[in-house]
Amino acid sequence: MSNAADPLGLVGARVLVAGATGLVGGAVVRAFAAAGAEVVVHGRDEKAAGALADRVAAEHGVRAHPVTADLAAPEGPQALRAGLDAAGVDRLDVLVNCVTGYDGRPRPAAALTAEEFRALLDTDLVAVFRLVTAALPLLAAAGRSRVVLLSSLAGVRGRPAAAHLCSVKAAVAGLTLALAHDLAGEGVRVNCVAPGPVQEPGTPHSGPLGPGIVPTTPDEVAGCVLALASDLSAPVNGHLQVVNGGRP
């Protein structure tokens, strides 16, 4: 339960951030570490994951464990569990998935191959399902845990030249609803954040933006993730939070 000294209820919480070495994932790790959480920093690159873990541990005085696994590979979830076991992580209070295989390159539907579509489906949906189910024993062991998945504004509003992204991210929102129902009895809340274009402050966007779409910074997305993972959102389950730069 949160208190005046810990209003988010995250001090000492054990948090796994999958895809932590990406733009949004790194911001999410830093936000949880700043809130006093113990963080597991997952990435496919051992050096990058280790460097980020060392940095947040030094800056915030928290424990940080780098874990390496390719979650899109069949053995990925087992490799992740082995890394968690090696780090002595026997429970998870929070699981955040920031893994994505989307490369940002526009592909009109007529030019999009089935192989490209399936590759994103495997990385951004199937691997997410396998990640959550592999982590479920650790989430249930916490007794009261939270899962936050990342979808995209593209899965809510659509986007030209991105049929695979729109379809897969809409499916992540559906997976959130299903998991919220199925895992509620385990004490696990499941919610979803759907950001629009994300870029660092002062960085020009690489392409045109649709009406009402404003870029969001990684730290702003991380703030929304933190809110859904905190005690402040204890009554919230099965929610899709659109992050749209403040535009309706």
> How confident is the model at residue 208, as a pLDDT?
61
Domain limits, the chain:
14-243
What does the pLDDT read at residue 4? 79
Per-residue confidence (pLDDT) for residue 225, from 0 to 100? 98
**14-243 is classed CATH 2.40.50.140:** no
- Which range, of 2-6, 94-98, 106-110, 154-158, averages the lowest pLDDT? 2-6
Residue 203 has pLDDT above 90, yes or no: no
- Residues 34-55: what's their mean pLDDT? 98
Predicted local confidence at residue 155, as pLDDT: 96
pLDDT category of residue 247 using cuts at 50, 70 and 90: confident
Number of residues that this document lists for the chain? 248
User: Are 158 and 174 a contacting pair, CB within 8 Å?
Assistant: no
Instruction: Render pLDDT for 208-240 as a digit per residue (tens, 0 to 9).
Output: 666 666 789 999 999 999 999 999 999 999 999
- Could you tell me what percent of the chain has a pLDDT over 70? 95
